[in-house]
Chain A
Amino acid sequence: MRTFGFPEFLFILEAAKWTLALSLIAFIGGAILGLVIALARTSENRTAQLLSTGFIQIFQGTPLLLQLFLIFFGAPVIGFDINPWIAAGVALILNSAAFLGEIWRGCIQAIPRGQTEAAHALNLSYVNRMRDVVLPQAFKIALPPTVGYVVQIIKGTSLAAIIGFTEITRAGQIINNATFQPLQVFTTVAAIYFVICWPLSLLAAHMERKRARALAR
């Protein structure tokens, strides 16, 4: 029987690159879709508001695990061949889009109305109003909670282990099945996540404090 040694540690550590790759996909996809959601939520179009609110309600109101299962088991139903990579990627993108969309909606609405009204008065189009006036200011407010949310995405990728995607948690399960040393294995797994996530959490908290100080002045 194998014991938990350096090669086993390396096996789990190597799987971290898949955790990071999946997190990156989820963040980029979620950010693009999330921006659309946030803009739809703050627009004056009733249909866009309704659709984006429904999207957020559904994805924030159901467990991420079930979203993952529904895509993994549901894609074959509508005739798509699917592997754990795509299922995990799609589920995490949709879920992140709902949460980022809601975070960014708050940031867009935090920009004083006078700014939008001034842009209106200058006869700026919707695109100019958003791109040149509102979004650059909202971006500053959005940065700390967005960095904080990246930590949630990284932790969320662990659920992909359940449908057989070999990232850190799944690699830990594989090693645990071979060595039967769960204490060492899962402490290692937790430690790797901690090393990835903690600096991001500290960065988010630091940015938040800096912003609060800037506002207090």
Chain B
Amino acid sequence: MNYQFQFDAVFAAWPLLLKGTWITIQLSLVATLLGLLVAIVCAWGKTSGPAPLRFVINAYIEVIRNTPFLVQLFFFFFALPAIGLRWSPYTAALTAMVVNLGAYATEIIRAGIESIPKGQIEAGRALNLKGWEIFRFIIIKPALKAIYPALTSQFILLMLSSAVVSVISADDLTSVAANLQSQTFRSFEIYIVVAGIYLALALAFSALFKLIYQRALNYPDRR
């Protein structure tokens, strides 16, 4: 083995890497927030909507969960523009991520809603609480607590799989790495540093989520 590692070119490009990291974080956060909105609507439709709506939502969830994210991305970036919908790589990537996360989060939220024992809601009614009071004091905290671990790990999975959007050059961290790689030919050094950044992001976010859980949701319950 007589390869000379040269990290200079990689570290010289740190402003670009930092910008790419920020775009990756931004894409993941925005996609998660919008995806959650989609998921809340779909979870409502799936648990208490009419039968045709339930069918459509189920089809959406199954199609997204049983096809690769890369193919979904190609569909949004190449196929939809062919029928007249033109958008930038960034918007296409964000849309694909929202649609993807929405499907996974629907199932998570539905499970959260169903985890609240009916007796607790009935007890709330018996105490003459109004609808929003039941939601505020009885449903929301245990439901959040039930879905929190699954939701946060879904966020980290989404952030890691967002590396795939680099194939349509959506300016994220991996796109920056691919550009640097073609300019400097230091592919191994660049990808190892970028993999390190992703690992740091994943660990930092999971530590942050743990902290939030301990501060806000860590109370004893019946289970």
B195: CB under 8 A from chain A?
A: yes
B38: CB under 8 A from chain A?
A: no
Q: Is the Cβ of A65 less than 8 Å from the Cβ of B164? A: yes
Give the nearest-CB partner of B161 in chain A. Answer: A63
Q: Which of B131-139, B142-150, B185-193 contacts A (4 or more CB under 8 A)?
A: B185-193
Enumerate A33-88 residues with CB–CB distance to B below 8 Å: 57-58, 60-67, 69-70, 73-74, 77-79
The residues of B that contact A74 with a CB separation of less than 8 Å are 188, 191-192
Q: Is the Cβ of A66 less than 8 Å from the Cβ of B163? A: yes
Q: Is the Cβ of B70 less than 8 Å from the Cβ of A169? A: yes
B60: CB under 8 A from chain A?
A: no
Q: Is the Cβ of B66 less than 8 Å from the Cβ of A201? A: yes
Known: A61-B202, A66-B163, A181-B82. A194 touches B66 (CB 8 A): yes
A197: CB under 8 A from chain B?
A: yes
Known: A183-B83, A194-B63. A63 touches B191 (CB 8 A): no
Known: A162-B167, A190-B67, A193-B71. A182 touches B202 (CB 8 A): no
Q: Is the Cβ of B187 less than 8 Å from the Cβ of A73? A: yes
The residues of A that contact B69 with a CB separation of less than 8 Å are 155, 158
Interface centre among A73, A172, A186, A189 (most CB of B within 10 A): A186
A126: CB under 8 A from chain B?
A: no
Interface of chain B, main secondary structure: helix
Known: A63-B163, A190-B67, A197-B67. A77 touches B3 (CB 8 A): yes
The 8 A CB mask of A175-199 against B (1 = contact, 0 = none) is: 0100011110111011001100110
Give the nearest-CB partner of B199 in chain A. Answer: A61
Known: A62-B199, A66-B174, A69-B191. A190 touches B75 (CB 8 A): yes
Known: A61-B203, A73-B187. A169 touches B198 (CB 8 A): no
Q: How far is the CB of A198 from chain B (nearest CB, A)?
A: 5
Interface centre among A61, A63, A193 (most CB of B within 10 A): A63
Q: How far is the CB of A149 from chain B (nearest CB, A)?
A: 13
Q: Is the Cβ of A65 less than 8 Å from the Cβ of B65? A: no
The 8 A CB mask of B183-223 against A (1 = contact, 0 = none) is: 00001100110110011001100000000000000000000
The residues of A that contact B106 with a CB separation of less than 8 Å are none
Known: A63-B163, A77-B3, A182-B82. A70 touches B195 (CB 8 A): yes
Q: Is the Cβ of A161 less than 8 Å from the Cβ of B70? A: yes
The residues of B that contact A89 with a CB separation of less than 8 Å are none
Q: Is the Cβ of B161 less than 8 Å from the Cβ of A193? A: no
A159: CB under 8 A from chain B?
A: yes
Question: A49 to B203, alpha carbons, bound, how many Å?
Answer: 19
A156: CB under 8 A from chain B?
A: yes
Interface size in chain B (residues, C-beta < 8 A):
39
Known: A63-B161, A77-B3, A78-B3. A58 touches B199 (CB 8 A): yes
Question: A181 to B75, alpha carbons, bound, how many Å?
Answer: 11
Q: Is the Cβ of B79 less than 8 Å from the Cβ of A66? A: no
Q: How far is the CB of B201 from chain A (nearest CB, A)?
A: 9
Give the nearest-CB partner of B201 in chain A. Answer: A61
Q: Is the Cβ of A78 less than 8 Å from the Cβ of B1? A: yes
The 8 A CB mask of B62-85 against A (1 = contact, 0 = none) is: 110111111110110011111100
Known: A69-B187, A79-B1. A183 touches B202 (CB 8 A): no
Known contacts A62-B198, A66-B198; 4 additional CB pairs below 8 A are A61-B198, A63-B162, A181-B82, A193-B68
Seen from chain A, the residues whose Cβ lies within 8 Å of a Cβ on chain B are 57-58, 60-67, 69-70, 73-74, 77-79, 151, 155-156, 158-159, 161-162, 169, 172-173, 176, 180-183, 185-187, 189-190, 193-194, 197-198, 201
9 pairs of residues in contact across A and B, judged by CB atoms under 8 Å: A70-B188, A70-B191, A73-B187, A159-B68, A180-B82, A182-B81, A183-B82, A194-B62, A201-B62
Seen from chain B, the residues whose Cβ lies within 8 Å of a Cβ on chain A are 1, 3, 62-63, 65-72, 74-75, 78-83, 160-164, 166-167, 174, 181, 187-188, 191-192, 194-195, 198-199, 202-203
